[in-house]
A and B are shown apart, each in its own frame.
Chain A
Amino acid sequence: MRFAVVLLASTLTAQVPYSRLLQAGKEPHNWLTYSGNYSGQRYSPLSQINASNVQRLQVEWVLQTYTTEAFETTPLVVDGVMYLTIGPNMVKAIDARTQAGLWTYTRQIPDDLRLCCGRVNRGVAVLDDMVFYGSIDAHLIALDAKTGKVRWDVTMADYKVGYSSTGAPLAVKDKVITGMAGGEYGTRGFIDAYDAKTGKRAWRFRTIPEPGEPGNDTWAGDSWKTGSATTWVTGSFDADTNTIYWGTGNPGPDWNGDVRKGDNLYSDSFVALDADTGERKWHFQFTPHDTHDWDSTHVPVLAEIPFRGAKRKVVLSANRNAFFYVLNRENGKYLHGKPYAKQTWAKGLDDNGRPILFPNTDPTVEGNLIWPSLAGATNWFSPAYNPVTNLFYAPVREQGAYYFKGEATFKEGAQFNGGGQRTNPDEEPYGAVRAIDPESGNVKWEFKIHSPANAGILTTAGNLVLTGVQSDFVALHAVTGKVLWRFRTGGHIGAAPISYSVEGKQYVAIAAGRGLFVFRLGE
C-alpha cells in the first residue's frame, strides 16, 4: 500500500499560483524559478546536505538525453515533479525522486535556423497549471503541466532573420516574461510579457530605443535598427517595487563599432522595468560602445547587503567585462565596482561606474591583444549569492585574446559580426571560482580551475558552493573555498546546479555532458 501511495503523491500535479512563486523561499524543497526564486541568488535554504556530510553524496540516478546538443538546462521542481528542457526541441516532466516519465513535449522545428551557438535551451517557467517554454525558433509555448499538451503557442519573432529563444522565461503575477537571442544577426532586442492564460502579448520593451525615444541618439544613423542588444538569460524580480531586472547583450556588429558610433543604449546593460507595463525605470550600462562582445546577459542578483554602515538593497553583477559591480536597486545608481579578473581595457571606473578606457583597446584588422577574451571574465552561467556568508560566488575565466576587426555589412538573416578573436596562444588560460565580498569587491577566497570556468554556481544553507569544473561536479566550502567532495561526470558541465527535496530527502541536480545527474546522501 505504501508503494501505491507514494506513486499517487508524485503524479499529482500541483497548482503554482503567483503567491507561491512570490514566497518561493518558504518552500525550499521546490525549485520554482530559473534561479530558485525571484532574487536571482541561486541559493537553496536546504541544509540536509552540508559541509560536514557532503562526502557522502552519491549518484541517485542519471537521465540520458540521447541528443548531440549541449545540455544547459536548469530543471524546475514542483512538489516532486521535475520539468526540464533538452535541446533542440524537448520539454519533459519526470518524477524528481525516481526519474519515472510523466510526459514529453517534442516540438517540430525548422532546419534553417540562424544560431550562433547551438540549439540549446536553459529551462522553463511554471505558473498555475502551466509550463512555459521558449523554443529555438522563437515561439513562446504554454504547456499543460499535467499532460504536456500545448495550451497556446505564440510567435515572438521571425527565426528566419536570426531570432531565437534559449533562455528560461520568468512568470510574474499573471504574465510570462521572456527575452530572446540572436545577437550575431543584427536583430533588435526585446523583453516581452505575455498574458499567461491567453498568450496575448501584454507589453514589449525594446532594448534599443526608436527615433524620438531617449537613447536613440546613442546610435549613429540607422545603426539602431540592427544593434542586437539581446536578452537571452533570465532576469530577476523585486515584488516590493514591482520591478523586473534583466541583462542585455552586445551591440551588433560585435567587433566593428565604426558603423554604430555612440554608447549604443541599452546594450550591455541591466534594465529595470515596471512589471505591469514594461516601462523602463532605469538602466545601467556596463560597457558603453562595446567592441569586444561582452554581453551583460547575467542574472541580476538582488540582495540586501551591509554597505558603508547601512543595509542596502542592491543589484550585484560580476560582468563579462571583468568588473564586479554593486548598484542601488531602487534607482540603478552605481555604488561600487572593482575588477575581479585580469583586464587590460579600462583604467578603472569613474564615479558613475563608467569605464575609463585605456587608449587603443578596440579590435584591429591585424589583431589587438586584450584581456578578457570575448567569452569574458565570466559568461552567462549563473553566479550565486549566499545571504548567510554574504559572499558572491563568480565563475571566472582568465584568458586574453587577439581581437580582430572585420567588414560589417548587414544582410538580413546572415551573421553580422564585423570581426572576431583568436585566443592568446602564449598563455595557458585558467579559471577559478572566486568568492567576492560585495561591500569591498575584494576576493575572499579563490578555488583555482585548470581551464576557464564554464558552469554556473549553486550555494546552500549547508555552507556549500556547488559547481561544475570541466567534467567534475564539485562541492566547495562556502566560507573557505576548500574542496569537500567531487564526482567525475565524464561530460562537460555548462549548466548550473539546483537543489530540492522529496519526502524529506535532499537532492542536488546538474546537467553534465548529455545527462542530468541527481545526487543524494548515501547511508
Chain B
Amino acid sequence: MRILAFLVAAGLAAQQTPPPKPLPASAADLEQGGKLYRGSCGYCHGPQGDGGKGADLSKPKLEKATSDEKLVNIIQNGIPGTEMPGAWHMIDNEVRQVAAFVRTLGKVESKPVPGDREKGKAVYAKAGCAGCHSIRESGRPVGSLNGPELSVIGSRRSAAHLRESLLEPAASVPDGYLIVTAVPVTGAAVTGTRLSEDTFTLALRDFGGRNHVFVKTALKDIRKEPKKSAMPSFRGKLSADELQDLIAYLASLKEPS
C-alpha cells in the first residue's frame, strides 16, 4: 500500500510540474545576451546569427532547439558529436540571456534559399562532388569517404557559407582537414590531409586516398597550409544558376527533425 500511495503521489507531482521558466525578456537581459553571444557564439554562428561554420540561427524555427529549454540545454552542454561545444563558462542566468538573444535573431521569417534543389542535385553529380564527398542514402554513404560528409550539411552551414566554400574553399577549412606536406630526408615529399600529429609522428592521407605515417626524425621539413583546401574552387566553372541550384540542394540536406 505504501508503494502504491507513493506512486500516486509521484504521479500527481508529475502532473503538477510547473511550466518551464520563460526566458528573460528585459532590454538589459537581451543586451547582455547579445554581448555574451558575440563573445562566445558569433565566431561560428556569425555576429548576426546568420550562420557560418555554425548553423544559421536567424530563423524562427531551430531544428534542434524546438523549445526554449532545449535551446538552453544546447548552449549549456553543446551537441555531442558535432563542433558545437558547451558554454561551461556561463552561469545559468547568462545561458538564459544568450538563449533569449538567440530567439530575437529569428523574429524575421527567413527567405528560403533560392534555386532549384533538384537541378542542384544534377549539378552535384555533374561537377564530380562525389569524387571527394559522400551523402547518405538509406543510411549508406554514396560517394567518396575522403572528404567531409555532406549528409546534413544544410543543418550545419548557412547558405552564405556554402557559397563561400564553393567559390573560395580555403576561406574556412573544416577541422580535421589541415593540408600538410611532409618532406622526408630521402625520397619524395608527400602532401595530404593530416590524420594525426604528435611530437614524434605524423600521419597523413594523400589526395589519392593513401595513408602515410612518418617518424619525424625521418623528415627534414613539415609544411602546414592552414589557408589551403584540397577542394578546387568552382568559380567560373559553374554558371550563376548552376551555383545557386547546387547551394539550394546542399542547403536542403538537413538533419531529420
Contact = CB atoms under 8 A, between A and B. Distances in A.
Contact of B89 (A420, A428, A451, A488): A420
B171 to A, nearest CB: 13
A472 B197 CA distance: 13
B199 interface: yes
Given A366-B35, A404-B39, A422-B40, A450 B90 contact: no
Contacts of B197: 450
B224 A365 contact: no
B198 interface: yes
B88 interface: yes
Nearest to B85: A422
A420 B38 contact: no
A402 B90 CA distance: 14
B199 A425 contact: no
Nearest to A365: B35
B88 A450 contact: no
B200 A404 contact: no
Nearest to A402: B39
Contacts of A420: 88-90
Interface string B6-35: 000000000000000000000000001001
B88 A470 contact: no
A367 interface: yes
A469 B200 CA distance: 9
Contacts of A417: 89, 91
B94 A450 contact: no
Contact of B38 (A366, A448, A472): A366
Interface string B216-257: 000000001010000000000000000000000000000000
A514 B94 CA distance: 37
A404 B36 CA distance: 8
B199 A366 contact: no
Interface residues of B, number: 19
A402 B40 CA distance: 9
Interface string B132-150: 0000000000000000000
Nearest to B44: A425
B94 A406 contact: yes
Interface string B56-91: 000000000000000000000000000000001111
B182 to A, nearest CB: 14
A30 interface: no
B93 interface: yes
Contacts of A409: 91
Contact of A365 (B36, B43, B93, B226): B36
Contacts of A321: none
Contacts of B226: 428
B45 to A, nearest CB: 14
Contact of B94 (A255, A364, A407, A449): A407
A308 to B, nearest CB: 37
Contact of B32 (A365, A451, A472): A365
Nearest to B88: A420
A419 interface: yes
Q: Kindly state the interface size class of chain A when it binds its partner.
A: 20 to 34
A450 B39 contact: no
Nearest to A409: B91
A421 interface: yes
Contact of B198 (A365, A404, A419, A450): A450
Given A450-B199, A469-B199, A472-B200, A367 B40 contact: yes
A472 B200 CA distance: 9
Interface string A384-411: 0000000000000000001010110100
Contacts of A428: 224, 226
Interface centre among B43, B88, B199, B200 (most CB of A within 10 A): B199
A151 interface: no
Contact of A407 (B39, B88, B93, B200): B93
A472 B199 contact: yes
A404 B95 CA distance: 13
Contact of B39 (A367, A448, A451, A470): A367
Nearest to A486: B200
Contacts of B200: 469, 472, 486, 488
Interface in A334-385: 364-367
B214 to A, nearest CB: 13
A406 B93 CA distance: 10
Interface string B100-112: 0000000000000
B174 to A, nearest CB: 12
Interface in A465-520: 469-472, 486, 488
Contacts of A451: 198
A425 B43 contact: yes
Interface in A31-88: none
A470 B198 contact: yes
A236 to B, nearest CB: 30
Contacts of A486: 200
A422 B36 CA distance: 12
B198 A472 contact: yes
Interface string A432-456: 0000000000000000111100000
A480 to B, nearest CB: 16
Nearest to A449: B199
7 contacts: A366-B35, A402-B39, A415-B91, A419-B89, A420-B89, A448-B199, A450-B199
Interface of B: 32, 35-36, 38-40, 43, 88-91, 93-94, 197-200, 224, 226
Given A409-B91, A428-B224, 20 more contacts: A365-B35, A365-B36, A366-B35, A367-B40, A404-B40, A404-B89, A406-B36, A406-B91, A407-B91, A415-B91, A417-B89, A419-B89, A448-B199, A450-B197, A450-B199, A451-B198, A469-B199, A470-B198, A486-B200, A488-B200
